[in-house]
Amino acid sequence: MFSKALSSFTSNISSNYALSPQPTGTAGAWNIFDAKRKQSGKAVSVFVFDPKSLAPPGGSLMGGRGNAASLKRAHEEVMERLRKEASSLARLRHPSILELQEPVEETRSGGLMFATEPVTASLAGLLHEKDDQERAGGVGGRGSRYVVEEADGTRKRRELEIDELEIQKGLLQLGKGLQFLHESAGLVHANLTPEAVMINAKGDWKISGLAFCGPHESSTAATSLTAISLSEALNNDPRLPRSVQLNLDYTSPDFVLDNHLAASADIFSLGLLIIALYNSPHTSPLGTNGSSSTYKRLFATPSTLPTQSNNFLVPSSHPLPPKLSSELLPRLITRRPAQRMSAREFQEASYFDNILVSTIRFLDALPAKTAQEKAAFMRGLPRIIPQFPKSVLEKKVLPALLDEMKDKELLAPILTNVFAMVKAMPTGKRAFSTVVLPRLRDVFITNRATERDPSKEAGLMVVLENVETAATNCSGKEFRDDLLAIVLLALESPTHALVDAALGTLPYVLPVLDLTTIRHDLFPAIAAVFAKTSSLAIKIKGLDAFYIFCGGNPNAAENSAADDDDLNGIGVPSSSSSSSSAILDQHTIQEKLVPLLKAIKTQEPGVAMSALRVFRQIGGTEGVDSEFLALEVLPILWRMSLGPLLDLRQFGAFMGVIRGMGGKVERERMRKLEEMGGSGTGNGVGAGARGRVGNSRGLSANGLTEGEEADFETLVSGRKAAAVSTTNGDGDLMSDRGAPRPAARGSTPAPTSSMSGTPTFSWQTSSTTPSPQVPRQKPQRQQQQQQQAALSSLRAPQPLSQPIGRTITPDQSLSSFATLTPASQFSQPLQPSRVGGSTGISSASVPLRHAATTNGFATSAIVAGGGAGGSSIDWSAATSNTASAWSSQRPVQPPQQQRQAQQTVPRPTNGGFSLPPPPMSPPIMNALRPPGGSGGGQKPQGAGGGLDRYESLL
């Protein structure tokens, strides 16, 4: 006794499996418990027999010591038959026989237990459930006794369905099991009842209850099982429960009337079981109440026997299928064994001849089919799927297909059918999460191949095409943990078609994932693909993805650049292109996305227009400041807009976005400056006072009173200049359009051509281009005084009270420049000359260019001088490093002395310009000749000098 108790503590099942607290069903004398293996979590069903169920009612021994001894022997026989039942399952291995997981063991209380594959219920329990539902008024009339525990700990009602296809499928499986017992094992079941048929989790019908199983009389197979004693088996003991004895309601007359142990007896029992499936209530048409005499009396009267004439004793309210009642049952329920069909013939009956049953039969034999047969079957299966009952799809067809996913050649067609079934099933979400998703993870992630596998790539393509279905039928956590890894795997693939399909899943992936996962996992993967791809389609798909990341609507059509967004100055978003909030944050857009777009090298119009769509979305994204748009985005847009492959419409789209974005930058900047001006913290420029500088005290930092105009001469000289015309209309201080040269006092201003846009200043001479009108020459003395005064004003600092222009920061410090003083050769203006009898160039129309020194070297020095006799150009003065035009402090010399000094200056060598002076056009050469010098006339005296040397060079 103590050893039994110790063995119960150390039993394999008790120590390695966690059993449910309550049984989920019964099967004869056994209570069925759901259980899971502690180490692996593998689900099993544990059958437990409690010896207390053998005790008689009230605990009396009914007749003293002798009766007690016989009852004990009866109990021992029952225990032996139950052990035989479990051990027979271990010996018999067949798909239609219940699969044993753990052998039978004794419990602490002296009972028995063994573990099998997971089962849902017995066929008897299912029929009792249907009876209860019918008595209660339908399926929803009463709660089911059968419940199942989900993974999250919740318990729910089992879905127990039995329809015509379920019956046909189950009967076929029973026929296969009986064929195996009769022909291969040489055994007869002898007690085939609904209690002996188990329904597993896949909906398959499995044979169990082998307590009375033994070799039949014509058996030639070697077996260790002993044949049953019919006399003992048919003699029911009232002291024992009915569940542990032979059920006469399903017994063949071969046993009771002929005392013959033949294999055909199981075929008769199978016919009675089929009638019970359609009967109401779902019981055998033979009601013997366990009495052999009652059984014999029923067979003595033909009217009490189930025959075709009396519809096999089934009520007319539950008619039998025509082929079943007319062809199959008459050859099953017959008195003579020779007229019964065998188990093999039973499977070939016309009752099973339909497309759905044929499909299930093919699935059962699928592992033995050839590759061509499997491929043809998978191609035709999608047309059959809608005809299947949903329970059959989930419990039978779907598991069979998932088991075949180990064949990589069939991976793509199998997955196509799997997703089609998930869509068709009402319980598709549960099926996808529990069986499909783990299988996908094992195939693509766990067993990930290091080399390219075309078969797996084809299956992966099917998964990507059905991401929408997957996202609908699983939770966000399951999608993030499993399906996202599959999408990222496709993005890393070298196959362009896979990458393209993975990018196309974004509209279905983004709503399921959280922002953190998108920013840290999905966006970097897409950015890497975009940067390294050489495919134009993938490049455009990547830009479409970025558009969605920036808040674009993935379902909206591509909009033109003229849409009413915030970049066109209207500020009203277009209702046809509504977009959601941006997924990427401001930092990711500015620091990662825009540099990625800036690095685009291709000039394909498709890529450019897709990038334009992204930039337009970026410009309208909240958080992206206008300074970033101006400094980073607009230069990229300008560069892309000048692409050589863009047509007129595409270029116009770029210009629309550029103008709109520039307007946004302008509005933001104006608003900030107005806010700064309105707060009194500094100078401000109002919208109506552009180009005018002032402050709240009426005096600017440059000395200008409020409302005064500033010009460049004021900024340079520091003195207040004459009014400057602003005919250009823009009011810009740095504008060079339409600003006329102020005329000197006492001189007639030169007319300005309307087509000229060249700026002129008071210290600048007129252009070298011949003017249509020559101004009147100023007195020489007066011009010298004005030049001296201008140069003195540059050297002398002005008081603060004198208004000056806006202060600017120079590129170089002004202290590095030497004091500017006019040279002697610039003290005399040029005299007008005649060229070919027409008016030449006066001194006022020859430009006076000062010698600006940079790093101590003269950059330009062209001096013009002359008198009545002609003109000359002194190149030696231009190339001198020391005699600058503004650095000499010598007194002014008369013109004749100047010409003599010029003639004595030697010709410059390498110490001056390294290049010869540039050639001059013939009109300028003629203008430089003295009056009367046209044609081949003689040059005036003293007018040779530098011009002769210059002409000799020509």
Task: Tell me the one-letter amino acid at 337.
Answer: P
Whether 808 has a pLDDT exceeding 80, the answer reads: no
- Lowest average pLDDT, out of 8-22, 633-647, 912-926, goes to 912-926
Residue 324 has phi, psi (to 5 degrees) of -70, -45
pLDDT at 604: 92
Local confidence band at 714 (pLDDT 50, 70, 90 cut-offs): low
> Residue range 859-874: average pLDDT?
41
Per-residue confidence band for 275, with pLDDT thresholds at 50, 70 and 90: very high
Other beta carbons less than 10 A from residue 585's beta carbon: 13
d(CA 339, CA 333): 9
The answer to whether 544 touches 610, Cβ cutoff 8 Å, is yes
147-169 pLDDT, tens digit per residue, is 555 544 554 555 556 788 889 99
Q: Higher-confidence residue: 754 or 582?
A: 582
Mean pLDDT (whole number) for 33-57: 88
Query: Residue 425: CB partners within 8 Å, gap ≥ 6?
Result: 390, 393, 394, 431
CA distance 755 to 759: 12
The pLDDT score that the predictor gives to residue 65 is: 60
Mean pLDDT of 764-788: 53
Tell me the average pLDDT of the chain: 73
- Using a pLDDT cut of 90, give the percent of the chain over it: 31
End-to-end CA distance of the chain: 135
What CATH number does domain 15-56+70-135+163-352 carry, 3.40.50.880, 1.10.510.10, 2.60.120.380, 3.30.70.20? 1.10.510.10
Q: Which of 326, 242, 312, 253 is nearest to 277 (CA)?
A: 312
Look at residue 308 in the predicted model and tell me its pLDDT. Answer: 87
Query: How many other C-beta atoms are found inside a 10 Å radius of the C-beta of residue 496?
Result: 13
Buried b (16+ CB within 10 A) or exposed e, 817-829: eeebbbbbbbbbb
118: amino acid identity, one letter: P
* Residue 94 pLDDT > 70: yes
- Report the relative pairing of strands 214-215 and 187-188 from DSSP bridges: antiparallel
Q: Does the pLDDT value for residue 16 go beyond 50?
A: yes
Which residues 6+ apart lie within 8 Å of 296 measured at CB? 256, 257
Where do we find the tokens 């046209």? 934
Task: Please list, in sequence order, all residues whose beta carbon lies within 8 angstroms of the beta carbon of residue 327, skipping any fewer than 6 positions away.
Answer: 349, 350, 351
Contact criterion met (CB below 8 Å) for 130 and 70:
no
Instruction: For 659-683, write each residue's pLDDT tens digit.
Output: 999 999 999 999 999 988 754 444 4
**546 falls in which pLDDT band (50, 70, 90)?**
very high
Neighbours of 555 (CB within 10 A): 7
CATH for 366-513?
A: 1.25.10.10
d(CA 226, CA 231): 15
3-state secondary structure of 501: helix
Q: Which long-range contacts (CB under 8 A, 24 or more apart) does 322-325 make?
A: 323/349, 323/350, 323/351, 324/274, 324/278, 324/351
From residue 679, alpha-carbon distances to 454, 533, 674, 684, 686 in Å are 69, 53, 9, 10, 13
Element (H, E) at 928: helix 922-928
The string of pLDDT tens digits covering residues 433-483 is 988 999 999 988 887 766 778 888 999 999 999 999 999 998 888 899 889
Length of the chain: 954
Residue 889's closest CA among 793, 794, 788? Answer: 788
Distance CA 47, CA 14 (A): 12
pLDDT of residue 28: 87
Q: What is the residue whose two structure tokens read 């929803």?
A: 140
Residue 745 has pLDDT above 80, yes or no: no
Mean per-residue pLDDT for 514-524?
Answer: 91
Give the pLDDT of residue 641.
93
Q: What is residue 69's predicted lDDT score, i.e. its pLDDT?
A: 84
Per residue in 823-859, pLDDT (tens digit) is 444 444 544 444 444 444 443 333 434 434 334 433 3
Query: Over 80: is that where the pLDDT of 908 sits?
Result: no
Say what the pLDDT of residue 897 is.
52
Q: Per-residue pLDDT for 122 more than 70?
A: yes
Residue partners of 229: CB distance under 8 A and separation at least 6: none
pLDDT score of 446: 82
- Whether the pLDDT of residue 709 is over 60: the answer is no
* pLDDT given at position 417: 93
Nearest to 665 by CA among 545, 536, 591, 569: 569
Q: Which of 714, 723, 716, 732 is nearest to 804 (CA)?
A: 714
Sign of CA dihedral 13, 14, 17, 20: positive
- With 80 as the cut, is the pLDDT of residue 90 above it? yes
Query: Does the pLDDT value for residue 189 go beyond 60?
Result: yes
User: What CA–CA distance (Å, rounded) separates 950 from 941?
Assistant: 17
pTM across the whole model: 0.60
DSSP 3-state assignment of 394? helix
What single-letter amino acid sits at 331?
R
Residue ranges of domains in the chain: 15-56+70-135+163-352, 366-513, 530-557+580-673
Highest mean pLDDT among 199-203, 271-275, 691-695: 271-275
Q: Return all residues near 259 (Cβ < 8 A) that are at least 6 apart.
A: 230, 231
- Give me Rg for the CA atoms of the chain: 53
Share of the chain above pLDDT 70, in %: 63
Cα of 725 vs its chain's centroid, Å = 62
User: pLDDT per residue over 585-611, tens digit each?
Assistant: 888 899 999 999 999 998 899 999 999
Burial classification of residue 774, based on how many CB atoms lie within 10 Å of its CB (0-12 exposed, 13-18 middle, 19 or more buried): middle
Strands 870-873 and 864-867, by their bridges, are antiparallel
